Homo-oligomer: A and B are copies of this chain.
């Protein structure tokens, strides 16, 4: 597989994300397996009603960290291409917060690589979300 840096597509945007765009980016005649993860805004978190979320990012570093994860996933799982798109700003219930798309010759590394990307994103990428409930708001994960 080509190891060119052009085979990852990183986006941090305040506009709606496109699954079709990510699919088209990773598709390739040599790949038989595409795996996607789409993270959406849930109406309930830890038993509490959620009205909407606000995403904030330290954008230049977030994009760098997203790129590192995409490169690591391609190397580690022998993926062909990785697209990693993340929203910022105000998101409503059902909106898409993140899309991970990966392509691979076979399906097993596609699943593993896709899960690796979203797991790493949640650990390292400087993006924060504030959850709004009917009775107030708070930044998620911040306090014990």
Contact = CB atoms under 8 A, between A and B. Distances in A.
Interface of A: 19-20, 23, 27, 29-44, 93-94, 105, 107, 110-111, 114-115, 118
Contacts of A30: 42-44
A102 to B, nearest CB: 11
Closest 5 CB pairs of A and B: A36-B36, A34-B38, A29-B43, A32-B42, A111-B115
B27 A40 contact: yes
Q: How many monomers of this protein are in the complex?
A: 2
A42 to B, nearest CB: 4
Contact of A29 (B35, B38, B42, B105): B42
A105 B42 contact: yes
